[in-house]
Amino acid sequence: MVSPMAEDPFSLARAAAKQLVEAAGGAEHAAAVVLGSGWAAAADAFGETVASLSTRDLAGFAQPTVAGHHGELRSVDVGGKRILVLLGRVHLYEGRSAAEVVHAVRVAVLSGAPVVILTNAAGGLDPSMRPGEPVLIRDQINLTGRSPLSGPPPPEPYAPRFVDLTKLYRPELRDLARRVDPSLREGVYAGLSGPQYETPAEVAMLRLLGADLVGMSTTLESVAAHHLGATVLGISLVTNLAAGVSLEPLDHEEVLEAGVKAAPHLARLVTGVVSEL
């Protein structure tokens, strides 16, 4: 039997979006913010939570199995604007399909959010990067071998699957973020499937390919959001230097710790961007 997600992920996302709008009291969200590993501590500093619900109550959501990711959505007031905050995500390495990985983003956009801010924890490939530093994603390299647009063609009224990614991460949103924090640098994010960290040889390869950051999420979500017409901003939190760049062993606890320490800075950055939308 073919699962509803595999057969028509767009209809399933539309159904969940309707449930979300009803649960949030019909509020219009200026943006949806997807929080990656280590970013959860920043969520409490965004503003007042007006409504909160478990993703278990919405159609089609798979539940996260990774520490630092929570199956929760919040409608948050940020200076009079409402944003939709998605605490946690699922990943390919959890055995999820590409459609499951991007489901939350599709739901957010179909519920009315015109802007999607994707955050993640990333390894820094540039030796000058420091743990705790946020970096704007200028472009990406999808090395997962997967696409959220594979499978049956998107039904009407959605755009064809052959979407142009020339301006995937919108320059105007990056400019806005730099007005909030002029110290922000930009980089190219390489997305791999994980869950193991990269070898020093793989990191050397990524640097030759032009990547500045590496992680295990974001690349599929950005494509899905862009395909549905949302404008996308990507922000990586450098939680460690990658293998071969750093001589220290890598572990997930380090990722979460870096996020907790950087939470106030991250919250100011996101709320500053949202206030200017």
* Residues carrying an active site annotation: 37, 69, 91, 93-94, 121, 216-217, 240, 252
CA–CA dist 100, 63 (Å, integer): 10
255 CB-near residues (< 8 Å, 6+ apart): 37, 38, 68, 121, 239, 240
For the chain, give percent helix, strand, coil, nearest 5: 35, 25, 40
Peptide bond connecting 195 to the previous residue in cis, omega within 30 degrees of 0: yes
**Which pair of tokens denotes residue 58?**
């919405």
CA–CA dist 205, 184 (Å, integer): 25
